[in-house]
Structure formats: C-alpha cells, structure tokens
Structure 1
Amino acid sequence: MSDNIFISWSKSKSREFAFEVKNLLETLNPHLNIFMSEDNISAGEKVQEKIIQKISECDKVLLCFTRDNKKSPWLLYEAGYACGQNKMVIPLLFDEDHNWHSWIDNPMNIAREININSISFEESFINCFNLCDSVYTR
C-alpha cells in the first residue's frame, strides 16, 4: 500500500524546495502518490476545491517552511485543514530558525518537525516516509 502525500508550499524558495522533495520522494519510492499544486492542478480547475479534495484524500501533509513563508496564510490554512482532518502533518524546515513555530499556537505546535539542517534529518526523513534505509537514500 502506498502513501498519498500532499506537499504544501508558499513563495518561490519554498516552491523550489517542494519540487526537490517531490522529485526525491518519487525517486526513492515510486509507489508514493504525491500531490503538489504546481504540478497537479490543471488550467481551469478550481484551485481551492482541488486542494481541499487532495488534503482529504492524503495520508500525510508535508509543509515546506522557510523564513519567507512561515506566516503564509495558504500554508497555515492547508496545515490547519489537514490537522482538522486528522492527517499526519509534517513541517519540513529548510532554514535555521529555532523559533519557527512561536508565532502561532496551532496547528504547528502539535506537529514534530523535520529540520534539514539537523543531524537526525536522514533518519527522520527515511522513517517518516517509510523509505528503505540504504546508501542510495543517504
């Protein structure tokens, strides 16, 4: 059984990181079903309806946080909706910011983050997405 992953991003830096993470996850586990608005919403589709539908259908929501977008209304909306749907919400931090969640109470204070700059990044990432731990994944 494969996981359905929703990748949330906001602003250009976060978008670039989201594409990299999507490509990495698809390479490491081609059985994952990954939704990212930039790739998976066609012209003419109702963006908000599609996002709500895909969050409702997913198993995990991966939030691509940077210093530039940590107060982004869309990112927080998607995170809050996912929490309300009892989805696993995984904040992925791309910048060093020890107080990244101090500006809101929910939904981020209830979710343990993965920090790409931490020593435990590889292990956390591998475990979170049920990847096989190998030389290739590292």
Structure 2
Amino acid sequence: MKVFISWSGDTSRRVAEVIREWLPTVLQTVKPYFTPNDIEKGTRWSSDIASELDDSLAGIFCVTSDNLSSQWLMFEAGAISKKVDQSLVCPILIGMDNSDINGPLTQFQTTLFEKSDFKRLVFDLNKANSSNVLEESVLHTVFEKFWPELEEKVSKIIHSIGANDPRATDIRSDRELLEEVLDLSRSLAIQKSGGFKSHQEFNSLISEFLMAYDAIFRIDWQHTKSCLRDIELFVSPSGNFIEPKVDDEGNNWGNRPYLLETYRGLIDYIHKHNIDIHTRYE
C-alpha cells in the first residue's frame, strides 16, 4: 500500500523524512512516498509526484506552526480525500495541539505526536492495507519496540526549533489561554452535573489500558491461558495478578507488563486528580 507523506517547510520536511524511514520497519508492506524537493519554492509539480499522489491509498501530512496555511499541504490533503475514506487523511500535529489548527484541516481526524494517538494511526493504516494486514498482537509488539526510536528523533527536531521560533511561543500562549478556559468550563460542568468530563490525557490513559487489556484477554488469549495454568511461575505466593511480586513481571508473558503499566498509570492519575471513580473494593 502506498502512503503519500506530505510536508511543507524545513521542520515539516525533517519530521516527514524520519517518518518515511520509520514506517516500513513497523508496516513492512507499506511503501511511503516522500519528495525530497521543497515544493514551496514555486516549481510546478513533476508528473511522478502527481502520479504518486493519485496512486496512494493514504496520506500523512506533517503539520507545524509555520505551514498551517500552506496551499500545497491543503491541496494534497484534498486530493487524497477525494479518492479515499477521510480516516486515511492523517494530519500529524508536530509540536501543536488541536486547539492550534483551523481551516480545511479541521474536517479530518488529526493525530497528535504522542504514543497512543500515533499507535492508533499505525493500526488504522494496517487495517486499510487489506491485502497484507498484520495480526494486531504482532503489530503491537513491533510498535512497542520501535516507537522509542521515532519518538526520540522527532522530539529532538521539535526541541531544536522550539526555542528559536517566535511563532511557537505565540501558539503556546494562545494554547495556555484556551486550556485555562477549557479547565474553567470543565469545573463548571462538574459542579452543575456532579459528574466528571474526561479530557485528552485521561482519554489517552483509558485507551492505552483498554488496548492492553484487549491484547492480553482477546488477541493473546491462547498464550494467556497457558500462563494462567502455570500461574505459580508468574506470581509469587504472596502476590496477585496486579502485584505479582516477582523480579520479572513479563517472564515470557509478553503483554502483561504493558497491561500492568497502563493500569497503574490510570489508577495513579485517578488518585492524583481526586477523580470520583472507585478503583478498588473497600
């Protein structure tokens, strides 16, 4: 499956190049197309770029603070959206948040450059590649292995431009103001309804936990059953599933550390923010 990677500007290009190199290590049958030429310099597209755009079944668009109004980026997003499902038009926000974007890109489901969001994007691309779909358990393992490499490289790019780009400061100030308004709105909603409105970080923690739970108790169920039969190998006599009290919580039980990590992170968040959710029987 061909994936067209679109960029505009130096920061966007650097991130696009890293993603172009990383993506086939996780989805080996995906063929990313990335033009090394700066299409913002006024030259007409060559026929091969137009052809690749037409042949691609998904598009990744590296969006930064300095290319929000790029006509080429918008054109390419529109061109691909006309021939594929909108879920396969994937703007990735680099050093930005959803509150920073406006215009045509708001019609698409954006991806923040963070682990849970990017993981969903990779899984969506895998499902779209109908002739070469990887098993979800395999894709989960591969993603977990290679994500730190991608995160480190892109984070270095973001940090290298953050201090030197005055526009980044402006956007951050606007974002902080908007977040204050949103926090106030949440507080008013909580007071009025007596409930809790989840926000992005909480949603991400819940998503990670549910994906881990699904990996162990559905996708990896046969292996999980074998581990449960020999539970004394994985849990000490004084421990339990959540607190096994063993040196190696994985110990050939591939997905359990992922589940325990996401469960503990979610519980810690609930306790830290005094969210009115019961986490254990008293």
Q: Do they fold alike, i.e. is TM over 0.5?
A: yes
Match of 1:62 in 2: 60
**Which one of the candidate residues 67, 76, 79 is aligned to 1:78?**
76
Please tell me whether residue 114 in structure 1 is matched to residue 111 in structure 2.
yes
Distance across 1 between alignment mates of 2:61 and 2:72: 11
Match of 1:42 in 2: none
Give the aligned CA root-mean-square deviation in angstroms.
2.1
Aligned pairs for 1:3-14 within 5 A:
3-14=1-12
Q: CA deviation at 1:31?
A: 1.7
CA contact (8 A) 2:2 2:55 kept: yes
| Structure 1: gaps of 5 or more residues | 40-45
- Opposite residue 121 of structure 1, the aligned amino acid is D
Distance across 2 between alignment mates of 1:36 and 1:94: 17
Secondary structure of 1:90's match?
Answer: strand
Match of 1:125 in 2: 121
- Opposite residue 113 of structure 2, the aligned amino acid is I
| Structure 2: gaps of 5 or more residues | 38-43, 127-133, 148-282
Identity between Structure 1 and Structure 2 (%): 22
Secondary structure of 1:127's match?
Answer: helix
Stretches of 4+ aligned residues off by more than 3 angstroms? none
Aligned pairs for 1:35-50 within 5 A:
35-38=33-36, 47-50=45-48
Secondary structure of 2:99's match?
Answer: coil
Number of equivalences: 126
Secondary structure of 2:96's match?
Answer: coil
CA contact (8 A) 1:64 1:94 kept: yes
Distance across 1 between alignment mates of 2:98 and 2:59: 21
Normalised to the residue count of structure 1, the TM-score between the two structures is 0.79
- Opposite residue 133 of structure 1, the aligned amino acid is H
Can you list the C-alpha shifts for 1:102-126, whole angstroms capped at 9, x where unaligned? Answer: 2x1x3x2221011014x62243233
Secondary structure of 1:82's match?
Answer: helix
Structure with higher RCO (Cα < 8 A, 6+ apart): 1
